[in-house]
Amino acid sequence: RGDEGGIAAVKQGNTAIMSPGSHCYFDHYQGDPALEPLAIGGFTPLKKVYEYEPIPEGLTPEQSKLILGAQANHWTEYMPTTQQVEYMAFPRLAALSEVLWSAKEQRDWASFCERMTDQYARYQKLGINYSHSAFQVTVTTSIDSLKRNLILELSTEAHNSEIRYPLNGEEPGRNSKIYKKPITIKETTTLKAVTFKNGEAMGKARANHYNLHKAFAADVNLQNPSHRRYDGKSNLTLVNGIEGSISHTDGNWKGFLGSDMVATIDLGKPTSIERISVDAMQNTVSWIFFPQEVIFEVSTNGSEYTIIGQEQAPEPPTAGGKILYKFSCEKQIDYIQFVSVTLKNLGTCPVGHLGEGKPAFLFTSEITVE
């Protein structure tokens, strides 16, 4: 699933065809999981495929010549029909083909996107059920820590497309505002955005909810570091106002391998609170299990903490599928500045699991204080 096998092969004088899971597994999601057909997981959009470099760094010119190319893996456990097989392959197959047939210095993402406009028309004429995921609106967020505002930048992978959006949670239409510059969010907001082309909406809008709660953009200290592959966007991931999707690789989750998640949040000044919540995921196929217990604590001085709530896992570690759950504690308390939330890791994968006895993952996305 990585480059390691291919690198080892060419260093021994053998030829190799590369196929890393990071860029070449076309059974992964290619767009927002909430808008896509059910897939095994992962996230490999069109641009990520195009950014793939089949010849790894560190090889000699002679070894590089032994890399024959790459292949797309199209595992069909989640593709019950021919139409869905086509949907998962196109247009990502075009991106991988251009990468493999072009010299690195000749690849141009902007040019590729422009030329794909004609390619989409060809797919349609040929009756190919190609994916419209490239037209989905991607929201990139950043935090203005000084003003404690959230900045939203909207984009798509489609050439010369028009993004329209309202900020009141309504469906975007032809008369909705056209996106031209980053949007500053100063309060809890629901954004829906859609790409329009020639006056027609190119797909569905997903409701993106941004909760600027009392812990939004606050200082977070973690007792144990998250796994390097699932670090989100620093510790701010836990207080950026965004809850993770059903995909644990969407960038809004932090994963902890074999260790507890213990987060201490400084709200900046004493305040009253009514509710603390934290979300978690169970996806046993990916060795992700619910925390076995969640402990909520508060403090006025950051030194002495009082437990105000505890909750056990809602499902046993044997429960399959992808399950999201929000642990919470409701209690009216005044003059609180510090909040501590502990998620107890299962520790190791349970008996009978593929990873039995090996470290288990714990995933969490947002700690909300209201």
The pLDDT score that the predictor gives to residue 135 is 93
pTM strictly above 0.85: no
Confidence class of residue 349 from pLDDT cuts 50, 70 and 90? very high
The pLDDT score that the predictor gives to residue 198 is 83
CA distance 222 to 265: 9
The pLDDT score that the predictor gives to residue 82 is 96
Average pLDDT over residues 160-187: 91
The pLDDT score that the predictor gives to residue 33 is 85
Burial of 292 (0-12, 13-18, 19+ CB in 10 A): middle
Confidence class of residue 205 from pLDDT cuts 50, 70 and 90? confident
The pLDDT score that the predictor gives to residue 204 is 83
The pLDDT score that the predictor gives to residue 84 is 97
Instruction: Determine how β-strand 16-18 pairs with β-strand 67-70.
Output: parallel
Structure-token pair, residue 125:
């004429």
Structure-token pair, residue 365:
């996305």
The structural domains of the chain, ordered by start, are 4-133 (3.20.20.80), 136-210 (2.60.40), 219-369 (2.60.120.260)
The pLDDT score that the predictor gives to residue 365 is 97
The pLDDT score that the predictor gives to residue 203 is 82
Average pLDDT over residues 323-339: 97
The pLDDT score that the predictor gives to residue 249 is 85
DSSP 40-104: SS-B--HHHHHT--SS-TT--HHHHTTEEEE--B---TT--SHHHHHHHHTTHHHHHHHHHHS-G
The pLDDT score that the predictor gives to residue 42 is 86
The pLDDT score that the predictor gives to residue 58 is 92
The pLDDT score that the predictor gives to residue 233 is 82
DSSP code for 228 = G
The closest alpha carbon to 348, from 287, 285, 271, 270, belongs to 287
CA distance 145 to 369: 17
- Average of per-residue pLDDT values in the chain: 94
Average pLDDT over residues 318-334: 95
Confidence class of residue 370 from pLDDT cuts 50, 70 and 90? very high
Do 18 and 69 touch, CB atoms closer than 8 A? yes
The pLDDT score that the predictor gives to residue 367 is 99
Chain segment 15-61, per-residue pLDDT in tens: 999 999 999 999 999 998 888 999 988 889 999 999 999 999 999 99
Number of DSSP helices (H) and strands (E) in the chain, helices first: 7, 18
**Model confidence at 145: pLDDT above 80:** yes
Chain segment 53-108, per-residue pLDDT in tens: 999 999 999 999 999 999 999 999 999 999 999 999 999 999 999 999 999 999 99
**Model confidence at 1: pLDDT above 80:** no
- Bridge partners for 322 per DSSP: 283
Three-class secondary structure of residue 233 per DSSP: coil
Structure-token pair, residue 117:
């406009």
Confidence class of residue 231 from pLDDT cuts 50, 70 and 90? very high
The pLDDT score that the predictor gives to residue 167 is 86
The pLDDT score that the predictor gives to residue 224 is 98
